[in-house]
Amino acid sequence: MATPDPGYDRVTGRAHASRSEIIAPHGMAATSQPLATQIALDILKAGGSAVDAAIAANAALGLMEPTGCGIGGDLFAIIWDAEKEELVGLNASGRAPKAMTLEYFQKNGIDKIPPFGPLPVSVPGTVDGWFELHGRYGRLSMQQILAPAIAYARDGFPVSEVIAYYMQSNAARIGEFPGFKETYMPNGHMPGKGEVFKNPRLATTYEALAEKGRDEFYKGDIARRIDAYMAEQGGLLNYDDLAAHHSEWVTPVSTNYRGWDVYELPPNGQGIAALQILNILEGYDIAAMGFGSAEYLHTLTEAKKLAFADRAKFYADMDFVDVPVTNLISKDYADARRGSIDPNKASMQVPAGDAKLDDGDTIYLTVADADGNMVSLIQSNYRGMGSGMTPGELGFVLQDRAELFSLDKDHANVVAGGKRPFHTIIPAFVMKDGKPLMSFGLMGGAMQPQGHAQIIVNLVDFGMNLQEAGDAARINHTGSSQPTGTTMTTGGVLHLESTFGAETRQALEAMGHTLGESNGGFGGYQAIMWDAEQGVYYGASEVRKDGQAAGY
């Protein structure tokens, strides 16, 4: 018997997978924290829908992984409704406070919106997103759905390794803001790996939401506490901004990549950048290039640069700006953009096309139920634990998403009161032959669109399985043009995970790419795939996080 190559799993012979896929007939959940995954399964077993389980898992993650999410942040979701056989999207991102105008920043001599403190806080959209999802697809009561997270918040849970690491780093940069230490450092320090952490303040907030509903957050006592806290801190967010908030049901948009219909949500998010990258790559024989080859990684990087140049110029809140989505994700537009790629040389400057033809942290989770419903959900505070604003003994931090507005008056993403900022968080979904195939996502700021594209390429072009596609080494190109208005002038930096070989690295440098260290910013992937022939779900959760995929 031949000995497998060292890089291959010795049992399965798969080249890139850290473990086997999870396979189950009745339901599946994949999250970045095993306890949250188990909560989702318990909700499914109790008769809850995929949406019920997703909300329960998200609530648990707001407690257990506050470094990536929480009810002070925003939410996006794509849902496959098995009964109606339709794919729908929810944009539950919040808007800028009415007082957050360009004139405000000009008058106060502020030329860049700061990352922390009271100024970058936009309206939190997550709670309204939960209740919108529940109102359309929920089966269990919100009391039942939030009960597991409430119990863990009161009784405590052991903090897992990756989350403990990020909690420490967040304390160093926002730990001095009022309310933060009292909520997250009750013993004078952030909890370490394995330490039991409690958040009774969040338990009380969740209980109020379960009993009184979404209006408690946006028009009730919680809203009044947020209003008072922000006024004390000199922030712009107030009660009226919260009371005016609403989510928006949207239609996902797609492109076909070699027979797979890949769906993303339209802007104000960056999902269509993944579709643009895939459209450009479709013009090449990626499979022949080979996984990990310099030719493939160069082509992928150059396609990403082109998509991100358009992202920087065009992507914004479509209530304020006419974003040419149809043209940007068209095959003809990709053909025109592809011609600017030099197969032997890295580009240093990339202008946006004629469309008339990086630090964010997040959680992604996906759930599928026995009736065939599937949920692709992503939720975030933006920079780890957000702005640092920790209001009114409520047990959570407010997001800092408004940092991503531009202060250039001519930019599509220029700040304006009531406008949604550019968003990095994006859920994804795949259909094939008109049937649901895969719900997936990959968290991590600007890594997300390039990560989505790499996952699809791994599955379609390189024949990887669901687990392997997420575990395989990834690249992360940083330094592209930004939605705040700054432009790429030096070609950016290409970060490669450590398993890419020296020969590939040398070839990329010879093409003019500047290589950076393996910086850890390669995202976190979860996925569920439906096997219609066997009637089973496949689940995957990669090794870069503490996560788990599990079924029943």
- Which residues are tagged catalytic? 362
Q: Report DSSP letters for 271-314, one per residue.
A: HHHHHHHHHHHTTS-HHHH-TT-HHHHHHHHHHHHHHHHHHHHH
Q: Are 376 and 77 in contact (CB under 8 A)?
A: yes
What does each C-alpha distance from 63 to 50, 157, 207, 438 come to in angstroms? 20, 9, 13, 27
DSSP letters spanning 195-206: -EE--HHHHHHH
Residues 6+ apart with CB under 8 A from 121: 97, 230, 235, 236, 237, 387, 389, 398, 399, 400, 402
SS3 163: helix
Rounded to whole angstroms, what are the CA distances from 240 to 97, 225, 290, 308?
9, 13, 55, 35
Instruction: Give, as one character, the DSSP assignment of residue 521.
Output: -
Given a contact cutoff of 8 angstroms between Cβ atoms, the answer to whether 55 and 550 are in contact is: no
Question: How far is the C-alpha of 510 from the C-alpha of 344, rounded, in Å?
Answer: 9
What is the distance between the alpha carbons of residues 62 and 437, in angstroms, rounded to a whole number?
28
b/e per residue 298-314 (b: at least 16 CB within 10 A): bbbbbbbbbbbbbbbbb
Closest C-alpha among 218, 198, 194, 195 to residue 208 = 218
Amino acid at 59: A
CB 380 within 8 A of CB 360: yes
Comparing CA positions, the residue from 392, 440, 401, 44 lying closest to residue 239 is 392
Q: How many Å apart are CA 544 and CA 546, to the nearest integer? A: 7
Give the integer Cα–Cα distance in Å for 399 and 230.
Answer: 13
Residue found under tokens 């403190």: 117
**Two structure tokens written together for 59:** 């609530």
DSSP tag of 474: -
120-138 b/e (C-beta count within 10 Å ≥ 16 → b): bbbbbbbbbbbbbbbeebb
